[in-house]
Amino acid sequence: MADVLVAMSGGVDSSVAAALLVDAGHNVTGVTLKLWGGESDSGCCSVSDVDDARWVATALGIDHHVFNLGNEFNEHVVDRYVSDYAAGLNPNPCIECNRHIKFQKLLDRADLLGFDQIATGHHAALVDHEGELFLARGADAAKDQSYVLHMLGQHQLRRLQLPVGHMTKDDVRSIAEERGLVTAAKPDSQDVCFIHSKGGRETFLGDRIPLTPARVVNDVGTEVGSVTSVELITVGQRRGLDVGGNTGRQYVTDIDRTTNTITLGDRAGTLRPSVDVGGLTWAAASIDSGSTVTAQFSAHGTPATGSFTGTDREGTVVWDDPQIAIAPGQSIVFYQGERVLGGGIVR
């Protein structure tokens, strides 16, 4: 049996993960990461979440601690989120939080405290393939979180347990109800933890960087309107553009940050034959240049196939069929069947 440090967010998934580890006979200690100290209504990082995690730990008969990693979270997640938007990118802060905080800083703390493994309540699975460990899709397709964990390598995977990855969300809640855990009916966390729904991204970013107005033109260059913040517009976006004179659905087909011009067109105008990607990381060996790949570019998007040309750090995917444009800064993740091979950041 192992000494396991389980990250307990105060939600039902991590609560049941801790319970299953206790049932399996491991020496379990719970820890809640205090990351964001500002205003939030997403359902995580609040005082009540810490209280819920502590209550569950007490009910399970395990120790519980709180690690304050607010400075690290601001540096690696919040500050990067702001600077990426200022640079015209569309970052995924949950991925950066997993990369730098939950699976780096937490593992560092586990090492300092002498724990063998860490565990979380993520809906993803671990599989052994030819002697190497890989992440795989969780059993519940609607809750699968393999996309946001794609950066994990052998060092992290060999120290990790994912106790609820083989379960559906309904199964998780049933176990929590049977054990009388206070988190059994608690809603899932929503959206980005440091963005308040009242003001959204516009207020959050507007308090930290100057937001730039932009003109909106149609596909023949005629100006049809304007937006207050070019930073908040994404290629492929359809909603949130209050412009007149449109016939049929209009999409953002191009964003020119040098002239602050947004171009609208039909859906065909959003399609691209290829995408460039950098910052690639792999669970084990990288794929060979020229390989056929299956890639996903949003957490629950439809996978697309193509061919990859490049190195272990950067490359280009040429799609079998043109795909909707992927905003620079988004993550693209490569799968082989259910297994996650790795991924990177769209350029």
The two three-digit tokens of residue 5, written as one number? 């440090």
Cα-based distances in Å from 322 to 194, 226, 271, 289 = 35, 29, 6, 20
Q: Which residues are catalytically annotated?
A: 97, 193
CA angle, corner 81, sides to 79 and 85, nearest 5?
Answer: 120
Q: Decide: helix, strand or coil at residue 344.
A: strand
Burial of residue 282 (number of CB atoms within 10 Å: 0-12, 13-18, 19+): buried
Query: Looking at this protein, which amino acid is placed at residue 135?
Result: L
What single string gives the DSSP state of each residue in 132-179?
A: EEEEEE-S-TTT--SGGGTT--HHHHTTEE-TTTTS-HHHHHHHHHHT
Cα-based distances in Å from 134 to 119, 141, 314, 327, 336 = 15, 18, 21, 27, 10
Total Cβ atoms within 10 A of residue 113: 12
Burial 244-271 (b: 16+ CB within 10 A, else e): eeeeeebbbbebeeeeebbbbbeeebbb
